[in-house]
Amino acid sequence: MKIVGVGAGPNLLTKEAISAIENAQIIFGSKRALELAKEHIRGKAGILTDYTLKTLPGNAVVLSTGDPMLSGLGKYAKTVDEIIPGVSSFQVACARLRLDIEDISVITAHSRDIEGVKKRLLSELDHGKNVFLLPDPSFGTLEVAEFLNDHGLLRKIAVCQQLGYPDERIVTGTSEEPPSVETDMYCIVIT
C-alpha cells in the first residue's frame, strides 16, 4: 500500500505524489483528498471508509490530505507500506506567516484528550516555543484564547483558514482579542 500526501490545498501535489496517483489501479481517499488529486486519477477511485486502513487491499493507493505524518493516515501504515509526503498546512502556515519551522511545536487537538493538549500547550509556551495547533471543535480559537488568558499568557494568535485554496484567509489577533473563524478548515498559530 502507498499512503500519499496530496497537500493542504490545490496545486500542492509533489511530482512523486502525482506519479503514484497516475500509476495507481485503485485509490481511496476522503472526498476532499480525491478532489485535490482528481486530474491525476486514472484507476478506480473510492471514498475511504476504513480510516485504520486494515481492510484495504495491499495494492491500494490511499490519499491523505496535507502530509500523511501530520495528524494523517501515515500513523496507520504498516512497515511494508510506502509513505509519500505532502505539503502540510503546517508548512504553508509557516511560509505565509514567515515563521521558522524549527521554532514551532506542533500540537493536534482534533479528537484528542483536551486536558492533555492543554498541558502540552502550556509546556511548549513555557519553554519559549511558538505553537501550531490543529484545533478540535471543543478547543478552537475562542477556547484557546480563554485558556491562555486564564494562565496569564498574552500571545499573538493567527488563524489560518482554507490554506492553499483561492479563498485562503489569515487573520491575526491576540489572546485578549482573538481572531474570528469563518470555516471548519483552519489551524491556529500562537506566537
Mean per-residue pLDDT, 61-65 = 98
Q: Which of 37, 45, 42 is nearest to 14 (CA)?
A: 37
What pLDDT, on a 0 to 100 scale, did the predictor assign at position 44? 98
Same domain, 104 and 185: yes
**To the nearest whole percent, how much of the chain has pLDDT over 90?**
98
Consecutive H or E run containing 143: helix 141-150
Return all residues near 71 (Cβ < 8 A) that are at least 6 apart: 108, 110, 134
pLDDT digits 0-9 by tens, 110-161:
878 999 999 999 999 999 999 999 999 999 999 999 999 999 999 999 999 9
Confidence of residue 70 (pLDDT cuts 50, 70, 90): very high
Task: Give the phi and the psi of residue 66 in degrees, each rounded to 5.
Answer: 65, -130
Q: Which domain holds residue 143?
A: 90-190
CB 170 within 8 A of CB 159: yes
What pLDDT, on a 0 to 100 scale, did the predictor assign at position 112? 84
What pLDDT, on a 0 to 100 scale, did the predictor assign at position 25? 97
Same domain, 54 and 105: no
Task: Specify the CATH number for the domain of residue 127.
Answer: 3.30.950.10
Amino acid at 44: K
End-to-end Cα spacing for the chain = 38
Q: Supply angle C-alpha 95, 172, 31, rounded to 5.
A: 60
Same domain, 116 and 27: no
Query: What is the pLDDT of the chain when averaged over all its residues?
Result: 97
- Cα–Cα distances in Å, from 153 out to 102, 146, 148, 168, 191? 22, 10, 5, 28, 11
Mean per-residue pLDDT, 1-8 = 98
Same domain, 11 and 65: yes
Same domain, 179 and 96: yes
In angstroms, the CA 70 to CA 85 distance is 10
Indicate the number of domains in the chain: 2
pLDDT digits 0-9 by tens, 6-46:
999 999 999 999 999 999 999 999 999 999 999 999 999 99
Last residue of a domain, one of 52, 87, 122: 87
- For the entire predicted model, the pTM comes to 0.93
What pLDDT, on a 0 to 100 scale, did the predictor assign at position 110? 86
Same domain, 179 and 122: yes
Last residue of a domain, one of 53, 87, 121: 87
